[in-house]
Amino acid sequence: MSTAIPLRALNNVKYNDSSSLSAKTKLIDTRDHSALDDYSSMTEDEYADEGFAAYSLRRRRRTRDSGWIDCLSLSHLTQCLIGCCTKIRNACKEEKEYHSRNIQIGQVVLYEQFRFFLNFYFLIVALSQFIPDLKIGYLYTYWGPLAFVLFVTMCREAFDDLKRYRRDREINNQSYKKLMRRGTKPIVCSDIVVGDIIMIDKNQRVPADMVLLQTTEKGGACFIRTDQLDGETDWKLRLAVGTCQRLRSNRELFSVNASIFAEKPRMDIYDFVGTFNETDSDIQEPLSIENTIWANTVIASGPIVGIVIYTGSETRSSMNASNPPTKIGLIDLEINQLTKVLFIATISLAFLLVSLKGFQGPWYRYFFRFILLFSSIIPISLRVNLDMGKIVYSWMINSDKEIPGTVVRSSTIPEELGRVGYILSDKTGTLTQNEMIFKRLHTGNVSFGIDSMEEIKEYLRNVYISSPSSSNNIAGTSGRSRTRNQPLELAHEAILTIALCHNVTPVIDKGFDNLVDDDSTSSNDDADIELSLSTSDNRIDYQASSPDEIALVKWTESVGITLVKRDLSSICLRLPNGQILRYTILQLFPFTSERKRMGIILRDHSNNEILFLMKGADIVMSNIVQYNDWLEEECGNMAREGLRTLVVAKKILTREQYNDFDTRYSQAKLSVNDRAVKVNSVIERLEKDMKLLCLTGVEDKLQVDVRPTLELLRNAGIKIWMLTGDKMETATCIGVSARLISRNQTIHTFKMVSNRPEVRIELNTFRRKNDCALIIRGDTLDVCLRYYEHEFMEVACLCSAVICCRCSPTQKANIVRLIKKHTKQQTCAIGDGGNDVSMIQAADVGIGIVGKEGKQASLASDFSITQFKYIGRLLLWHGRNSYKRTASLSQFVIHRGLIISVMQAVFSAIFYFSSVALYQGFLMVGYATIYTMAPVFSLVLDVDVSAEIAMTYPELYKDLSKGRSLSYKTFFIWIVISIYQGGTIMCGALLLFESEFAHIVSISFTALILTELLMVALTIRTWHWIVIVSEIFSLALYFCSMLILRNYFNLDFITSFNFLWKVVVLTIISCVPLYILKFLRRRFAPPSYAKLT
């Protein structure tokens, strides 16, 4: 779908194919002449105020296909208005059409609930009670618990959906300014459509994909932050469309008869093909990625004006985002498997009783009745207990004062925090604060740190203020000062070079009201620069494609040498004495990932000297600078401290040298074949024998307590991968600085590969290394996975740390899926930007950090935190408790249902295999609800170790990932306990039976209730006051109900001593042996945490 969009919402719009456009952006096709007539019938007020895009919403019914909308002049509109009065009235009265849509309420929730075998099984059981031959008891006995479970679940899901809706509404209601013919009007984000001209202020997020039309800078330059899109911290330079930028004001945009051709929407965030077509002059201006600003980027210098080209799902950020899957916890899947085992046990037990009965009579009916009698083997209350437990865990996390600001956005998977095996973390804004701070300057014989900056500042002040006449001599040349070899003079020369060798632009903040429309402005005068800087409303700010460069320039400003002006042709510096140094930019060689360096050729106005300045990574600069014996060692020292290093060099060119270079460089740029190779060859001939001036060290400030947190997670047995869109050198520095890579650990950098043989060779090399950290680029990773996916993942997962740089959002999500596929372990993704959303949604547990990059990752995550250091407590303490408590609760609920089913089986076997219920009506409902629910549910408050021990000994977390708290072993142990207790109580009640059947019910049911309450006390590890209250309350409630339910209990019998001693004996026989076994186990085989407590 190719798109041509009007420069204003009034001119021609092209849509060759509307299939991929959202309903809001489909425009009419003028090939349908009736539609054209309707368009002509607009009043001028409608035409100017609402714009064509708004009007197209009303015409959407008759304009499903999109195409060309020709430019309509005012005279043409007038002629159409004369002949179409009726249509004007109809069009004005016509209401906006809303398309029909299907809204599913509850269907998805019900489907997700009945996906679980547990709920589906009880649905079938409840439905069977409508068949008279299979009816066991009252309908409410089965439908009541099922309805209650579904009601609680739907309420929880509805609450989560309501929170998501409110978060989405907050984003969609963000206000922007839409440029109209009569001025500007506010517009919310959700109402923006293709063709709208939007004004965006500085530090405001871009709501849609746009083409940049105007900026406040004369050259049309603008910087944007793309960390939400690609994870890169570098600011990107964008340029306005030249024709639009040359207009005197933004309102003149409505006088331009032009359109913009835009390619069909696609995922590539690094490329764009478009054309600006001016109809009156037949001028076509090509548009590239430099002219675009994608949605979810942030304007770093503004305000700006842009025209919308893609909205909604067609934006680059949306196309790179994946649909959020419905996350189901691993423990939920494990419990679902256990319920299937219980179902098989139910079928087997029913078949056994029918077999022992001899298949007499309608045996198949007896078989199904036995299945219904034993249905409590699979407890329906299991799901509602687990769901309510999740709510309690979420509340505890939200209320933890040790991790303030933490929000549980998905209450379905808190237990998964306790079983994480891999953490996949973003870098920028997650491990780092994205704040560059200059730390060190090394000139070869002296290292200047933070404590030495005042000394440098004082020296420069003395040089320029006490000897102003010599400032030009010092600034422009080298080699003539008698203090040439002094450390501070070397630092002086290095500082001047750092202040000049960059791609930083100083910007004075101003609005569109201050947009320069006077070509006579002369900013070349010193007075103009001083006036601009002295204006109180204009604050100087630095913008560049790299935060490292900004940190360096800000540091030179702090010591007295300030960058005050920079455009495409000149640079101006202000010295401590107020003097302005001017340089003409002759050539600029920007930084690229391949060259790993940038250079600039300047001409000094004070003495016409030509300077070639360069800075770059030590790996390439070491071959360019003159021989030295300190660079490699100092680079290693700074790298070990986690500093980002840059080598600065200088070379003085003669006029002849530069002219010769300029001639060859111009010829190379005009080459048709191998242009890039020839241009680089010419530049490399100049990059020889350069003078090494200094080595700089810049620190990307880490988040608070990142190092101890990563160490804590590693000790807990969690492997950490860092996935970033940033450069390899930057990612490596942060990996070392954050101690993701230990000091003595070997680093293996996976080489660039493009085919199968290269992958095999590099993979074999990597396989031979032991205990190393892997660093790999995203494109190289794709090649490896294409040919040797299993082999690569097998080796990579053995590494203690992996850093993947230059990763797109889609690649991050794919890496998460690959780890889940090949390791079968739980993954946790952590990020703070929009480019991390896909990764967060793909992981088993997604954690978003609220930071400088906005709330997009936080809103899309399962858990939202404010600082990276909170992850340790979230996993090691809350994750441990949630998993342990759920394991205990689920197994105890299964035990509660299994024990009563065993009693039913014993009863049926003894009474001639009759399919008659032992406990009917309210006793069955009350057993799992009012009598035992509170004590059993109080297990969600149980704690095995204190928070201090869990954080002090992270090794305890390793046992959780093995899943030993809920396994087939523990499951069958509880089955054996249930069979023993159920058989003991029922057989004992029958042996002590005297005269009436009601006595059996009274004795056995009372012993059953007491056994369950004592088993809670046996299972609990840390007593809580709520546990004690629930135990006493449930026991009192049961005794009170015995006095009320005369149909089930004989008042004379239950108040007799005969009843009391029989119940006590049965309870002691069922519980005391288990207490003895628990004591012996704690004495001779205590758990690992018992030694610490």
d(CA 482, CA 498): 23
Facing residues of 831 across strands?
Answer: 848
Residues 989 and 61: their CA atoms lie apart, in Å, by: 77
Short-list 512, 572, 569, 504, CA closest to 541: 504
Q: How far apart are CA 550 and CA 545, in angstroms?
A: 9
Q: Is the dihedral of CA 753, 757, 759, 765 positive or negative?
A: negative
The one catalytic residue in 227, 230, 234, 426 is 426
Sign of the torsion formed by the C-alpha atoms of 285, 287, 292 and 294: positive
Q: How many CB atoms lie within 10 A of CB 27?
A: 31
- Examine the residue annotation and report whether 526 is marked as an active-site residue of this protein: no
List 42's β-bridge partners, or say none: none
Q: Kindly state the tokens that stand for 280.
A: 């009156």
Q: Which helix (H) or strand (E) holds 310?
A: strand 304-310
Residue 190, exposed/middle/buried by CB under 10 A (0-12, 13-18, 19+)?
middle
Cα distance between residue 134 and residue 379, in whole Å: 19
Helix (H) or strand (E) holding 553: helix 547-558
Q: What does each C-alpha distance from 119 to 115, 131, 143 come to in angstroms?
A: 8, 20, 12
CA distance 882 to 249: 61
Instruction: List the structure tokens of 480.
Output: 């003539």
Q: What amino acid occupies position 218?
A: K
- List 415's β-bridge partners, or say none: none
**Backbone angles phi and psi of 219, in degrees to 5:** -80, -5
Beta bridge partners of 566: 571
Is 134 exposed, middle or buried (CB count within 10 Å of its CB: 0-12, 13-18, 19+)?
A: middle
Task: Count Cβ atoms below 10 Å from residue 754 Cβ, excluding itself.
Answer: 10
Q: Which residue has the tokens 């600039």?
A: 600
Strand, coil or helix: 235: strand
Rounded CA-CA distance 656/1066 in Å is 109
Q: Give dist(CA 740, CA 756) in Å, integer.
A: 30
Using the CB atoms, write b or e for 219-237: b if 16+ within 10 Å.
Answer: ebbbbbbbbbbbbbbbbbb
Report the DSSP pairing between strands 562-566 and 691-702: unpaired
SS3 (DSSP) at 694? strand
Stretch (H or E) spanning 709: helix 706-715
Q: What single-letter amino acid sits at 959? A: D
Burial class (CB in 10 A: 0-12, 13-18, 19+), 969: exposed
DSSP, res 626? P
Alpha helices in 184-329 (DSSP H): 242-245, 316-319
Within 140-246, strands assigned E span 175-180, 183-188, 197-200, 209-215, 221-225, 235-239
Residue 804 CB-half CA count within 13 A: 25
Q: What is the largest CA-CA distance in the chain?
A: 123
The label of the residue with tokens 């032992």 reads 918
In 652-683, which positions are buried (b, 16+ CB within 10 angstroms) versus exposed (e)?
A: ebeeeebeebeebbeebeeeeeeeeebbbebb
Q: For residue 781, which amino acid is it?
A: L
Residues labelled catalytic = 426
